[in-house]
Each structure stands twice: as C-alpha cells, then as structure tokens.
Structure 1
Amino acid sequence: MILYLDYVKNLCKEFSSFDIDQISRDLNTQADVLASLGSNFSTAVFDKIPIVHLLEPTITKPDQICPINEDTNFWTKPYYDLFLQGILPEDRHETRALRIKASTYTIINNILFKKSQAGPHLRCLEPHEAEQVIQDIHDGYCGNHKGGRSLASKVLRTGYFCPTLRTDCLTYSSKGEACQLHSPFIHHPSELLYSISAPWPFKKWGMYIVGKLPQAPGQKVYMLAMTDYFSK
C-alpha cells in the first residue's frame, strides 16, 4: 500500500489542481449493491469468471539507494563500506572486530539489516531515523506513552534496531510532559536507611505513644506501646 500511495503522490504532481470528495453513504448505493452481489449469486456463476494470477506486482519497486552520507560518520558506515565496497579498517584489530560484528548483519536492497534469531531481520536506523521511529511509536496513533524499557522492546518487535536504542528510549520517555505527570511516584527514601542492631533480647526498646483514643475508664486517652527490637 505504501508503493501505491507513493505512485498516487507522483501522479498528483502532474495535475495543476485536484479535489478529493467523500461521498456520503446515502448517495453511494451503487457501491453497496456491487459489494452485496457476491452473496446473491450461487457459486456456479463465479466458476465462469476467469481468474488471472499476477506473477509480479503491478507497481515496480523503485531502486533504493544507500542512505549513507559520505560527510557523516554514522555507525552503519563501516558495514556499508565492507559489504558494498569491501573496504576494511587499516588497523588489524579493528578489521577482526568488524568482521566478527558483520556476521550478524546483512544488506537487502542497499539497506542494512541486523539478523534476528527470534524474528525477522531488524532495519538498522541512523540517529535521526531512530528518533523519528521512537516518537511515532511513543506518541503516534497507536502509542500509549510506554516507559523506556517497554518502549525499546516495542521498537525491536516492530522491526527496528539501533545500538543506543535502550538509552534513547529511556531519554525520550523521561522528557515527555504527559509521562512525567502520570509516572509512578518514587517511594525510595531521600537518604540511606540505617538499621538498628539488637545483639540480644531486651538490649534496646522502642516506645510509641498512640492516641488520642476514645476516653477509657480513668479518663485515659493515650496508650504507651513498648517493643523489644530483638524479638519484636
């Protein structure tokens, strides 16, 4: 559907102007009748209709160029240089490390993908592309303002990869105004807690005044509770 949409956008450039009108349901009776014809005829009628199998798409997929800019130093550039041009780093150790890492990557239609054992290949994203994907998944039509770790997992399940994906998701989710307003409260103490050690029974006692209680006989309204730290 994306290819058809791009094809329509290119056709729109050839017109000086055009209008898109939505036809209401009460004026679209012909389309409704055409859609209901299938339930009104028997299967014998459809046996006479020839079926043509399309062996290739009706729209040819455009050749995708390598999204690497020579003026920038993206993290994917060494992999493109290795797979497309066979260029390796001059340092022997860097070359060995790059060959080991490159075994988990592949190029399809001049686009770098990371091999995934649990699902399809993951589309490798540049920093600006990763920011756009994170924003769409977090704040888009199907976004639910996930936290950083959940957001990173959802981006991976969607089919994208970036080495700094988890850090970018944590940073982006912490900046959202709605996420800050509705985030859970932090119950951690503002300072370290120090435990009180009681090596033997009745070494330390704790006294607590409870009240004010309903008046008891003798006009007593407070209660003194004493606790031994060792036996509780």
Structure 2
Amino acid sequence: KYRGARTRKQTLSVKSRQQASHTSKQVLVEVLETKSITGKEVTTVIEEEGPTWMTKLVNYMKEGTLPADENEARKIRLKARQYELMDGIFYKRSFLTLWLRCVGPLQVEYVIKEIHEGSCSMHTGPRSVVAKAIRLGYFWPTMHRDAQDIIRKCNDCQVHRPVARHPQQHLTPITALWPFYKWGIDIAGPFPEGPRKVKFLIVAMDYFTKWIEAKAVAMITGG
C-alpha cells in the first residue's frame, strides 16, 4: 500500500509539471495609455468678501497701519506677535504643531463641512472637528462656536443622532414632612370613551397607605 501511494503521488507531480511546462514564467505588465476613470476637478480656493478678523492684523503687518484708538492699536500690536505673513498667506504660531493657516468665514464653513460631512468624515462632534482642523493646520478665533453652530444644522446628524433621554428641565426635589408623606400623581389613557366623553384618568396614590384616588376627565391640557 505504501509503495502504491508513493508511486501515485510521483505520477501526479510529473503530470502537474508537464501541464505547466507550456506556461510562461514572465510577469506581463500592461501599460494603460488612457485613464480608466475620469477625475473631477475640485477648486478649494475660496475668496473672502469684505473685511475679516484678519484684516486689521494684515494691514498692520503689511503697511504698519493702526486704528486711531490707542487701546485697539495696543491690542493689535500684542496680537501681531502671534502671527506671521509669509508669501501673502497669514499664519498663526503654534507651539505644538506647524504654522497654522488662518482662514476667514467662508473658508471656515468649507473646512468644517469637509471634516464633518466629507468623503472621509464620521459626523463627529464639535470638539473632534476642531481638533482635526488644528491637526490639518487651520486656525480661526471662533473655532468651537462655529463648529457647534454648523454641526447643529447637519441634517444627517439630526436624523440619526441618539435620542436624548434626560429631561429638558432640571428636576425639582420635594421635601416630605415625615417619611412616606407623599402622593404620586400620574395620567393614564386614553381609554375607550365613556359617558360625557371621558377617556383619561388622573390617578393619585398615597405612598404610605397605598390609598388610590382616580378622576375621569375628557381631555388633558398642559398649563
């Protein structure tokens, strides 16, 4: 049996070598002269309209112009130490990362939406969006507020976000004069209509004696 099995294995190995002898061992590479997909041209340059939060600082660093108000001029001189103008682009110094490129309101909206709703986004919260914007090298003074305002308007987040389970108003503690000196009140219904169109019950129960009182009403109104 052993010799027969060994002979059969040798025969199969010889056949496999004979069948693969006609194939080439070269790796064929095909060079495509044209692209298989068409790319989309995306323009990311957004021109700001009108003055922004950077205008006074840029004017001071370019031309040395300052406002007439001494307090305002002093603030601009102090702020200018944290910024730098290189090749016409305004940057902010950063101690933990590289230079942060300063952006205006129109660019802010594009950056936040691209991080929050873009192709590689996860619809994260404002804090994560701001942290990623800083890692990507962007800065503007109202980062957290703008991220929160824009993310609140995201339709997908409004539809798919978890439902809040906490009450909208703060809970009010109730102090009892002695233990179990409290009544619990609840509304039950609607039930099938009865006489005088009543279909709701206002139920009250004494926590100590477990005494229950109920009142049938036709409708429930808040006040």
State the TM-score bracket (shorter-chain normalisation): 0.5 to 0.7
1:95 matched to 2:95: no
Asked if the contact 1:68/1:77 (under 8 Å) is kept, the reply is no
In structure 2, stretches of 5+ residues that fail to align are 1-26, 33-45, 186-204, 209-223
Query: What's the counterpart of residue 30 of structure 2?
Result: 28
Structure-2 separation of matches of 1:148 and 1:68 = 25
Shift in alpha-carbon separation, 1:29–1:203, aligned structure 2, 3 A: closer
1:75 to 53, 57, 64: 53
What is the one-letter code of the residue matched to 1:161? F
1:129 to 97, 107, 117: 107
Structure-2 separation of matches of 1:137 and 1:26 = 41
Displacement of 1:191 in angstroms is 3.4
Instruction: Name the TM-score, length of structure 2 as normaliser.
Output: 0.58
Structure-1 separation of matches of 2:114 and 2:59 = 30
1:153 matched to 2:131: yes
2:181 to 188, 204, 207: 204
Q: Deviations over 1:8-30 (max 9, x none)?
A: xxxxxxxxxxxxxxxxx976179
Q: 3-state SS of the aligned residue for 2:156?
A: helix
In structure 1, stretches of 5+ residues that fail to align are 1-24, 31-66, 209-223, 228-232
Query: What's the counterpart of residue 179 of structure 1?
Result: 157
Shift in alpha-carbon separation, 1:131–1:205, aligned structure 2, 3 A: closer
1:120 matched to 2:98: yes
Q: 3-state SS of the aligned residue for 2:84?
A: strand
Query: What's the counterpart of residue 141 of structure 1?
Result: 119
What is the one-letter code of the residue matched to 2:106? H
Q: Deviations over 1:23-79 (max 9, x none)?
A: xx976179xxxxxxxxxxxxxxxxxxxxxxxxxxxxxxxxxxxx987x721111111
Paired-residue identity, %: 32
Larger CA Rg, structure 1 vs 2: 2
Structure-1 separation of matches of 2:166 and 2:70 = 49
Q: How many residues align?
A: 151
Query: What's the counterpart of residue 111 of structure 1?
Result: 89
Instruction: Name the TM-score, length of structure 1 as normaliser.
Output: 0.56
Q: 3-state SS of the aligned residue for 1:123?
A: strand
Superposed CA RMSD in Å reads 3.2
